[in-house]
Structure formats: structure tokens, C-alpha cells
């Protein structure tokens, strides 16, 4: 006996997914005019730099430390990976602060703001494990200096910065997977709720600005 569509869990999941995020929201072909503002660009730059991080990191993971330390092309990809991480954190900080001052949690977007903040927090140990996985003097210095902080926090026995195998596994598998999963959830929430609009200017203030009758004009007139 075939399972009816009403009792099928796949049909229920599909209907719930389409109801929560219709195709016109998931892949919109138009955006509001205010999205053209420069502050909205930093979210896209964060995604672009993350894509470069994943691509260059995949190549480095496939080739190994001997390649990225002793060959010219390995140095090149190692530098691309490093500077894409630097760019990722730079533009993501601007993105977070910009959305903070825009109160991006307005209009039921609390989960959007939370997932963005968690992405930043998870990316920090991901970068740390990358630094201590370099297999050079910098990695040794960072790991030996940071191990005391881990011990003081009470997680030194679980997160051993001097263990290359553990740090490398965290860096190329667990933490990147967590970052990508949270970013996907963040993007889906943005698609569902839409991009947060700028604050509305009160009609009286807007009209006064257009007429040139701001506070300075009133003071000069008196």
C-alpha cells in the first residue's frame, strides 16, 4: 500500500518549507531601492571573501603543509587564504556595526541579527585554529602563548592548542562547517524577512529640510 500524500513526511516538509520561504522570496528578481546604499554592500563582500577562503583553504588542505611552505605556488595560495580571512573579518565587522546602528532586529528580524552575530563569534576560533595550524614559528608562538588563556578558561583539556592534529581538524572541518551552516541559515532568514529598511524620517522634519527651514534657518530668521 502506498503512503498517501497527506501522510507523507516529505510532502509535509515541502509544504512547510514553501510556506515559510516561497520561491519568489528565496530567489527574488527585485530589491527595494534603498539596497543600493553602500552599507548593504558589506554583507555581499563578507560572502565573497568567505567563498575565497573556502576555495583557497580546500586547495591548501589537499596539498598539505610541505606544499604551502616550500613552493612558490603554495606561498601564493597561502597568502590568498590569509588575506581573504583578513578581508572577511574587516568587512564583517563593518557589516555588523552597520546593522547594529540600523537596528537590524526590527520587524521580526531578531533571528537574522542573532545568526549574524553567532557567525562572527564562531569565525574567531576558526581563525585561531588556522593560525596555530601553519606549522611555522608563528604557529608555535601563538599556540604556546594562547594555551594559558585556554587553561584559565577551563577548556585547555578539550581545546589543546599545542595539538596540531586537533587544531587542524577543527580548522578544516568542524568550525568551517559550522560557519557555513550558520551563514546559510542567516541568508535564508534574510530572504524570508527581507533586507532591513532604513529608519523613516518624520514627515515634518523631511518637509522642513526640503524647504530649507531647519533649526539654522529659524535661528537666522529670528
3-class DSSP string for the chain: CCCCCCCCHHHHHHHHHHHHCCHHHHCCCCCCHHHHCHHHHHHHHHHHHHHHHHHHHHHHHHHCHHHHHHCHHHHHHHHHHHHHHHHHHHHHHHHHHHHHHCCCCCCCCHHHHHHHHHHHHHHHHHHHHHHCCCCCHHHHHHHHHHHHHHHHCCCCCCCCCCCHHHHHHHHHHHHHHHHHHHHHHHHHHHHHHCCCCCCCCCHHHHHHHHHCCCHHHHHHHC
Q: Is the pLDDT of residue 1 over 80?
A: no
In this prediction, residue 9 carries a pLDDT of 83
b vs e for 154-174, b when ≥16 Cβ sit within 10 Å of the residue's Cβ?
A: eeeeebbbeebebbbebbbee
Phi, psi of 125 (to 5 degrees): -65, -25
CB distance 96 to 114 below 8 Å:
no
The CATH number given to 36-195 is: 1.20.810.10
**Span 198-203, mean pLDDT?**
77
pTM of the model: 0.80
Residue-wise pLDDT tens digits, 121-142:
999 999 999 999 988 888 899 8
Long-range CB pairs of 28-35, under 8 A, 24+ apart, other chains included: 28/191, 31/195, 32/194, 32/195, 32/197, 34/195, 34/197, 34/198, 35/195
**Span 189-205, mean pLDDT?**
80
Tell me what the pLDDT averaged over the chain comes to: 85
Q: Is the pLDDT of residue 174 over 90?
A: yes
The residue ranking higher by pLDDT, 50 or 159, is 50
What band does 204 get if pLDDT is binned at 50, 70 and 90? low
Torsion of CA 99, 101, 103, 104, to 10 degrees: 0
Cell of 82: 590569509
What band does 119 get if pLDDT is binned at 50, 70 and 90? very high
CB distance 174 to 165 below 8 Å:
no
- Highest average pLDDT, of 16-25, 141-150, 208-217, comes from 141-150
In this prediction, residue 23 carries a pLDDT of 82
The residue ranking higher by pLDDT, 54 or 145, is 54
Q: What is the rounded distance in angstroms from the CA atom of residue 99 to the CA atom of residue 96?
A: 5
Cell of 141: 608562538
CB distance 46 to 95 below 8 Å:
yes
In this prediction, residue 221 carries a pLDDT of 41
Amino acid at each position: 500500500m502506498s503512503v498517501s500524500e497527506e501522510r507523507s513526511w516529505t510532502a509535509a516538509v515541502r509544504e512547510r518549507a514553501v510556506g515559510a520561504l516561497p520561491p519568489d522570496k528565496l530567489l527574488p528578481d527585485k530589491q527595494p531601492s534603498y539596497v543600493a546604499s553602500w552599507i548593504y554592500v558589506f554583507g555581499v563582500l563578507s560572502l565573497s571573501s568567505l567563498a575565497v577562503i573556502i576555495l583557497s583553504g580546500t586547495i591548501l588542505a589537499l596539498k598539505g603543509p610541505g606544499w604551502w611552505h616550500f613552493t612558490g605556488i603554495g606561498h601564493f595560495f597561502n597568502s590568498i587564504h590569509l588575506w581573504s580571512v583578513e578581508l572577511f573579518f574587516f568587512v564583517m565587522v563593518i557589516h555588523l556595526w552597520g546593522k547594529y546602528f540600523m537596528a537590524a532586529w526590527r520587524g521580526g528580524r531578531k533571528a537574522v541579527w542573532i545568526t549574524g552575530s553567532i557567525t562572527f563569534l564562531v569565525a574567531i576560533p576558526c581563525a585561531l585554529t588556522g593560525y596555530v595550524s601553519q606549522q611555522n614559528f608563528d604557529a608555535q608562538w601563538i599556540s604556546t602563548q594562547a594555551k594559558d588563556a585556554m587553561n584559565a578558561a577551563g577548556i585547555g583539556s578539550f581545546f589543546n592548542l599545542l595539538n596540531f592534529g586537533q587544531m587542524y581538524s577543527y580548522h578544516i572541518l568542524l568550525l568551517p562547517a559550522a560557519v557555513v551552516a550558520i551563514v546559510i541559515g542567516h541568508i535564508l532568514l534574510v530572504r524570508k524577512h527581507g533586507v532591513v529598511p532604513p529608519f523613516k524620517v518624520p514627515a515634518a522634519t523631511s518637509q522642513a529640510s526640503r524647504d530649507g527651514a531647519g533649526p539654522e534657518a529659524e535661528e537666522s530668521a529670528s
